Amino acid sequence: MRKVFIGIATILLLTGCIKRPWNPTPTTEHAAASQNVRLHLPDGWMLSSREDILLVTRDGVLLQNVIVAAVHVDEELKYTHKRFKPGMQPLEQAGVILDNMASNPNRFAFKVQSKKPARIAGRKAFRTEVAFKDKDGLQYRGILYGFMQNEWFYLVRYVAPERHYFARDKAAFETIVRSMRLMV
């Protein structure tokens, strides 16, 4: 009996010490210091901030997710050996990040549906839309915005299943993009 009590007490103690990775989005502007950005996030969504990315979702990362990342030009991308270079034009930047997405072994039938210049955070940027399938054949769509500032590439990406979720949460994503500002 004593061992059972000690076991239960240990579990309760440990679960109180574990920090949950998901937090409700703030009702005010959110400062993502690791990504050097400030932005407004949709009410009722959840966020998880790590050093490398800010991840936001409403219903779960497989149903929709927004990623905000800052990539230094010295960093090699996960699925390709390409790197960003200072002074790259926005559509060249798009080529690098799209190659990285297309090289992800968990994405199939990857297609770029559009690629055009845009503005984000007051800077020349690109906006591109993509489509792909997962290993089970589920069709996803995504929107990517990106731009460079000095030796940093900034990415804001939205991905959701094409059926139902993509169209439903697209406006919320575009609101996030319009609110984004660099901290320095």
Residue 30 is encoded by which pair of tokens? 């959110």
CATH class in words for 21-182? alpha beta
Mean pLDDT on 4-29:
55
pLDDT classification of 125: cutoffs 50, 70, 90: very high
* Coil/strand/helix, residue 141: strand
* Mean predicted lDDT score pLDDT of the chain: 88
The confidence score (pLDDT) of residue 8 equals 44
**pTM for the whole thing?**
0.85
Mean pLDDT on 25-36:
85
The confidence score (pLDDT) of residue 26 equals 80
The confidence score (pLDDT) of residue 22 equals 85
The domain locations on the chain are: 21-182
Closest CA relative to residue 103, chosen from 74, 132, 126: 132
The confidence score (pLDDT) of residue 126 equals 98
Residue 117 is encoded by which pair of tokens? 């210049």
Buried/exposed 142-171: b ≥16 CB within 10 Å, e otherwise: bbbbbbbeeebbbbbbbbbeeeebbeebee
At residue 139, what is the residue type? Answer: Q
Cβ partners under 8 Å of residue 134, min gap 6: 106, 107, 108, 140
